[in-house]
Every structure is written in structure tokens, then in C-alpha cells.
Amino acid sequence: MGTEEVQKEVAKIKWWHTIDLGNGVITPGLDQSVAKLKTLGIPEDLSGMTVLDIGAWDGFFSFEAERRGAQRVLAIDSFCWNGEGWGTKAGFELARKTLSSKVEDMEMEVLDISPERTGTFDLVLFLGVLYHTRHPLLSLERVFSVTRNHLILETACDMMWSRRPAMAFYPQGELDADPTNWWGPNAAAVEAMLKTVGFRRVELVWQPSFSRRLWGAAKYAARNRVPFLPRLQQTRVVFHAWR
């Protein structure tokens, strides 16, 4: 497709990821996808590796893994691709076509993942998904089963003042008024769950500084007229885990 045609197709889609499609065309995603790369710690060189991207949505991280040299990339999603939320698979398919990408795709729920269905992978990306799952520990068991070596997990967290493993439960969309948000584990719970399912080495590699959390919580509480202290306990974290 020519640049003008690509621009027209991009304009038809509501994007989550910000993807550079080339020739000056960048998708208007709500997510700060490029900025997240600095916090995730994805290896710069993935040459010869196999990568699984769980919850791929528009596919930014799938295509990035391919750009970094991955031999095989499999993108998995279900909820976002099937239009149960506000997303669809249209963004992923347009980006893959425009980028002439060889990223594979399977429409599948997290709990349906298994070595028999997907194979196993050198690197698994589980980004922004855990807190959306109704059964987080079982989901991590499935993720462990297909991780040959290295997992990168990014998730929302809550109850960060507790040193004991704990999770907040959101039965009615209490987190950001989003009914697909079910759990807010604290960092201790994420680490404990990863070790419980079998990962031998687990590292917390990123979380916002306290000053950043303080500023963000104050802005969010004022804008949405919600209590400040509960919001201060909520944040995002990135863990790396190895078998």
C-alpha cells in the first residue's frame, strides 16, 4: 500500500499501541509504547531466539522483538482482538501487513496456553495482562509451562505498603473504573507467585520512584475525585524471571 492509503487505513482504527509504520506514518496509540521499552529491559539482541507475546493487542512488542532479530515471534490475544473491549485485531493485521512482518498469531486465552498448543519460547512477554486475569496464579502456571528460559512480566500493583504477599480484589471495576481489572498484587505477591509456579530466579527490575508515585497519585486523585492514599498504594512494576 502507498503512504496515503496506509494513513487512511490507520485513521479507521482506534489504536492502543504507538507503532512506527514507516514513511512518517505513526499510529496514534494511547499507550506510550516506545517509552516503555526503557523500563521493560527487553534484550537489545534477540538474534535466533523465539519470543511469545501474550496479550499482544496491536502488536508493538511483537514487531519490536522481530526488529531485534528474533527468529520466531508468536503473538497471542483474545479479548482485545475479538472486540469484547474497545480494541480489535484490525490494528495488528494492518501493522503486520504494512511492516511486511512474519510475526505469527493465535487467538487464545491465557488459560489455554500450553506447550502442546503453542510450543515453548526462549523469551515470553507477559505485559499488562496479569491484573486482568480472573485466576492469576493459574495464569502464571500456564505462562511458566511455555517459558523455556526468560519471562518479562509487567503489571499493575496495589497494597505496596505491605511487605507480606497480598492482593487487592476489584469485583466491580474499582481500579480505574475498568471491569476487566480484577487483581492488584503487591510486588511481594508477584515475586512469590513467580517462584511458586517454578521460576528459580526472580528480579524486580523497575518500579516508579516514590516521588513519581506521589505526584501521579495526587494528580489522579484530584482529576478523578477519588481518595489519595489508596491511589498512592497503586503502581506498575516490571519483573524478570528465569527457569
pLDDT tens digits, 100-151: 999 999 999 999 999 999 999 999 999 999 999 999 999 999 999 999 999 9
Q: Give CA–CA dist 234/155, Å, rounded.
A: 11
- Give the domain ranges of the chain: 109-242
Asked if residue 29 lies in contact with residue 18, where contact means CB atoms within 8 angstroms, the answer is: yes
Which of 72, 75, 110 has the alpha carbon at shortest distance from 93? 75
What cell was used for 30? 494511547
> Helix H segments across the chain?
3-11, 33-40, 60-67, 90-98, 115-118, 136-146, 187-197, 210-224, 228-232
Query: Quick check: 177 pLDDT over 90?
Result: no
Q: Give CA–CA dist 123/126, Å, rounded.
A: 10
Within 10 angstroms of residue 16's Cβ, the number of other Cβ atoms is 21
What cell was used for 234? 497503586
Asked if residue 110 lies in contact with residue 129, where contact means CB atoms within 8 angstroms, the answer is: yes
| pTM assigned to the model | 0.95
CATH fold for domain 109-242: Rossmann fold (3.40.50)
Asked if residue 204 lies in contact with residue 159, where contact means CB atoms within 8 angstroms, the answer is: no
Quickly state the pLDDT bin for 35 (edges 50, 70, 90): very high
Quickly state the pLDDT bin for 206 (edges 50, 70, 90): very high
pLDDT at position 143 is 98
